[in-house]
Amino acid sequence: METAMQPLKKDTQPMLDTLRQAGAAYMQQNGLPTTRHEKWKYTSLKPLEQMMLAPERRIGEQATADTVPSLPNTMQGALENAVRITLVNGVYRADLSQADQLPEGVTLYSFANAANEHGAWLQQYLPENGFHDDQFLLALNGQYAQDGIVLHIAKKTSCAATPIIVQYVTLGRNGELAAAPMAHSRCVIVAEDHSESTIVEVTHGQESYGVNIGFDIHVGTHARLHHYRWQNDTQRAAHFVTSNIHVGRDASYDHFCLMMGSKLARHDVRAHLIAPNTECRVNGVYLAAQQQHLDTTILIEHHQPHGTSNQTFKGIVAGSARAVFQGKVHVHRAAQKTDGYQLNNALLLSRTAEVDVKPELEIYADDVKCSHGATTGQLDTGPLFYLRSRGLSEAQAKILLMQAFIGPALDEIRDENVRNVFTDLAMDWIRQQAV
Amino acid sequence: MLNITNLHAQTAEDQKEILKGLNLSLKAGEIHAIMGPNGSGKSTLSYVLAGREDYEVTDGDIQFKGESILEMSPDERAAAGIFLAFQYPVEIPGVPMTLFMKTALNAIRKKRGEAELDALGFMKIMKETCKKLGINEEMMKRPVNVGFSGGEKKRAEVLQMAMLEPKLCILDETDSGLDIDALKIVADGVNALRSPDRAMLIITHYQRLLDYIKPDYVHVLANGQIIRSGGPELALELEENGYADILAQAA
């Protein structure tokens, strides 16, 4: 792992202990945020109050290749040359992973090993205490820090054609979410200068559980990182992802999240464009039904000139589900010539469905191009009747219109194979809603 | 083929009665024109025939091929052979014409008990129909009606009609917004579809269209009723004297 991974002197305090202590101290002092907290106005963490926030190791340890849920056929087919990495209940599982098949230049460590053996190197990629001041779930993640993964993509490695699938499997308990354990994992992705890589994540599991993943992502100079996620946790799960992202000069971070699982989810992204001419794409589709509550909260920090950021989100909300989209673009004084774009379109399929949207622009530079747009609507009767008058059944017409609605967001996925897979997965959901 | 008796219909939203006892009968092979002033119920009639849910039939009946269609959904009516060419074809961003037409054609074939077409079989029919109607295939790659000119939209309607092979074609103000060249192209397309087992109902405000699509019968619709019927000469009379005279006679 380049010079940074040369023999290291033993840390005075093991890194995991530091994370745990800092996390525990913060949680003891602050606890989880209530809806009075500005950033948590639309998403209540009340369901977590009764939860066992600590991980349950035993269930995960018993998992074997036969008992972890399998990936959908469409993904196995279209991404057949992918290398698979598996975490079960927050712990990296070498026996369920293909680390030996990773492309040349890509190195994988379990987070626990990396923290023990290369703590000083690893620490540079994490916030000082492991979390920023109002990143409650990341502090909680630190409090129970045990494992995760570190993916290092060496300088000039070009392996985008071999996607790395990282699946976060969480095996929970039968019963209500309230009594379920929570798995915490830390995932560090370091894409060194001039590298190009594709990571496809899947979060899924069984029964009732919480899953809380912390990401630290660094995209080096002129590097390109394609980072896609299919959130498909069970309908009795609580899913949290908190990402701190740093994008370097002339680099591109290309993210897409297809969010359709879990009872309660919050996808929290904080991206820093720390050098000139960086590109940051945080796009997604959210599909919520029944009683689901899916929250996407994004903060893009433009620190330097000529940066481009793009947020294109399309969501469909059915039943009594609720979706939240909070997107903020913060353009600092030095970030002249910034191009910031944000769009959130939501389609409500029922009277009891709800979407809360809060777009924000905070601009201190005077020569920038920033725009945001948000719409919320329902399926128009005009196009529905037009399609039906040509012979399409009501369900067929709705499917076609919903497909067309989310299409522009899916088109933002730059990897064609992943785009096709995610389109298939979204279409499965849409077909279920149309009957 | 089509028998409309004492048809009363109102808007679903505010129960405003628009059709007030309309009677009309079409036989296979015939072309009927319905003319009338604005607000007489022409477009409502076309929507009610196609089954739009924004309208409620409160009395009377519509029989198509001997059976009442009042309880049929728009797609069931389409499969039975009713086709409405819209006055304002709807733009559907994100849905390519080919996908739309393949889905439509296969849905109708399935309901008619015919085998569904694979991609190749569909493309063959589509290309042939485009050629026959002089339509540029490029149009089929674009999203449904999005960015189409007025003429392109109407041509696309005729293309759909040709591909779905209906028994009853309703053309709702197909001439609106077309210049004379576009009108001729659309009329040629419609004329190519004339056949002894197909009836057509041409709804129009102006006589001009009827120079290109020659009707067998002309009806005048006013205030929700057919107030006068006659041959093609009735259209010329209307063109000459306007609606005022006929409306006055009826009153």
DSSP reduced 3-state for B228: strand
What is the block-wise mean pLDDT of chain A (435 residues), using blocks of 10 residues?
A: 45 81 95 93 90 82 89 87 95 95 96 93 94 95 95 97 96 84 96 98 95 98 98 96 98 98 97 97 98 98 98 98 97 97 97 96 96 94 96 96 96 96 97 90
| Contact assignment for A408 to B94 by CB distance below 8 Å | yes
Kindly report, residue by residue over B220-246, the tens digit of the pLDDT: 999 999 999 999 988 888 888 888 877
Tell me the C-alpha distance between A130 and A372, whole Å: 32
State how far Cα A263 lies from the chain centre. Answer: 16
Exposed, middle or buried by CB within 10 Å (0-12, 13-18, 19+), for A98? middle
Read off φ and ψ for residue A400, nearest 5 degrees.
-65, -40
Cα separation of A380 and A378, whole Å?
Answer: 6
CB B34 within 8 A of CB B42: yes
Please enumerate, as own/partner, the contacts of B224-228 that have beta carbons within 8 Å and a separation of 24 or more.
B224/B17, B224/B18, B224/B19, B224/B20, B224/B21, B224/B22, B224/B40, B224/B41, B225/B19, B225/B20, B225/B21, B225/B22, B226/B22, B226/B23, B226/B24, B226/B34
Q: Which residues of B touch A403 (CB under 8 A)?
A: 94-95
Low-confidence ranges of chain B (pLDDT < 50): none
Q: Phi/psi of residue B30, each to 5°?
A: -90, 150
Whether residues B79 and A391 touch (CB distance < 8 A) is answered with: yes
Q: Which among A388, A391, A407 is the nearest to B111, CB-wise?
A: A391
pLDDT of residue B251: 65
CB contact under 8 A, B84 and A401: no
Residues of B in contact with A385 (CB under 8 A): 50, 52-54, 74, 90
What pLDDT, on the 0 to 100 scale, is given for residue A12? 56
Cα distances from A170 to residues A54, A59, A109, A139, B133, in angstroms, run 13, 9, 20, 20, 59
Q: At what angle do helices B150-164 and B97-111 cross, to 10 degrees?
A: 30
Query: Do the beta carbons of residue A125 and residue A219 sit within 8 Å?
Result: no
Helix (H, G, I), strand (E, B) or coil at A246: strand
Chain B nearest CA to A388, separation (Å) = 5
Cα(first)–Cα(last) distance of chain A, in Å?
Answer: 52
Interface contact flag, B75 A388, Cβ < 8 Å: yes
Q: Which residues of A touch B54 (CB under 8 A)?
A: 381, 385
Residue A5, pLDDT score: 45
The answer to whether the Cα torsion of A22, A23, A25, A26 is positive or negative is positive
Contact criterion met (CB < 8 Å) for A386 and B86: yes
CA distances to A27, A302, A421, B144, B158 from A396, in Å: 50, 43, 21, 16, 22
Residues sharing a CB contact under 8 Å with residue B222, sequence separation 6 or more, in sequence order: B36, B37, B40, B243, B246, B247, B250
CA distance B101 to chain A (A): 8
* Shortest Cα–Cα distance, B242 to chain A (Å): 33
What residues of chain B lie within 8 A of the CB of A392, using their CB?
Answer: 75, 103-104, 107
How many angstroms separate the first and last alpha carbons of chain B?
Answer: 31
Residues of B contacting chain A (CB within 8 angstroms): 50-54, 73-75, 77-79, 83-84, 86, 89-90, 92-95, 99-100, 103-105, 107-108, 111, 143, 160, 164
Torsion B243-B245-B246-B247 (CA) sign:
positive
Q: How far is CA B36 from CA A413, B39, B40, B180, B202, in A?
A: 52, 8, 6, 21, 12
Yes or no, beta carbons of B74 and A401 under 8 Å apart: no
Distance, CA of A434 to CA of B74 (rounded, Å):
17
Residue indicated by tokens 């369920």: A96
Least Cα distance to A122 among A26, A218, A211 occurs for A218
Query: Which chain B residues are Cβ-neighbours of A382 within 8 angstroms?
Result: 90
Interface touch A404/B95, C-beta < 8 Å? yes
Asked if residues B166 and B194 have their Cβ atoms less than 8 Å apart, the reply is no
- Residue A413, phi then psi, degrees to nearest 5: -70, 120
DSSP A365-382: -SS-EEEEEEEEE---HH
Question: Is there a contact between B112 and B79 (Cβ–Cβ < 8 Å)?
Answer: yes
| Contact yes or no for A407 and B73 at CB 8 A | no
Cross-chain residue pair B103–A394, CB shorter than 8 Å: no
Give me the pLDDT at residue B57, please.
Answer: 96
Cα(B90)–Cα(B74) distance, rounded to whole angstroms?
A: 16
Query: Amino acid identity, residue B49?
Result: L
On chain B, the residues whose CB falls within 8 A of the CB of A404 are: 92-95, 143
In contact, A403 and A392? CB cutoff 8 Å:
no
Nearest to A390 among B52, B78, B93 (CB): B78
Distance from CA of A392 to the nearest CA of B (A): 5
Q: What sign does the dihedral A171-A175-A176-A178 (CA atoms) show?
A: negative
| Residue B194 in tokens | 């004339």
H/E segment holding residue A201 = strand A196-206
Radius of gyration of chain A from Cα atoms? 21
User: Is B75 in contact with A394 (Cβ distance < 8 A)?
Assistant: yes
Where are the alpha helices (H) located in A315-393, listed in sequence order? 381-388
Scanning every residue of chain B, which has its alpha carbon at the shortest distance from the alpha carbon of A379? B92
Token duo for residue B22? 């309309």
d(CA A91, CA A151): 14
Q: Can you tell me the ipTM of this complex?
A: 0.95
Contact B78 A381 (CB under 8 A): no
H/E element, B219: strand B217-222
Percent of residues in chain A assigned helix, strand, coil, to nearest 5:
25, 40, 35
Selected for mutation to probe chain A from B95, B98, B159 (highest A CB count within 10 Å) is: B95
Nearest CA in chain A to B99: A400
- Chain A residues whose CB is inside 8 A of the B103 CB are 392, 396, 400
Q: What is the DSSP letter of A158?
A: B
Chain A nearest CA to B183, separation (Å): 22
**Is the CB of A392 less than 8 angstroms away from the CB of B53?**
no
8 Å CB contact between A21 and A172: no
Judge contact between A331 and A362, C-beta under 8 A: yes
Distance from CA of B111 to the nearest CA of A (A): 9
Which residue in B74, B103, B164 is closest to A400 by CB distance? B103
Shortest Cα distance, chain A CAs vs residue B218, angstroms = 25
Asked if B75 and A405 come within 8 Å (Cβ–Cβ), the reply is: no
Q: How far is CA A174 from the centre of its chain?
A: 26
| One-letter amino acid of A15 | M
Nearest to A391 among B78, B86, B95 (CB): B78
Number of CB pairs, chain A paired with chain B, less than 8 A apart:
77
Chain B residues near residue A401 by CB distance under 8 angstroms? 92, 95
Q: Out of B90, B107, B143, whose CB is closest to A386?
A: B90
Contacts of B99 in chain A (CB under 8 A): 400
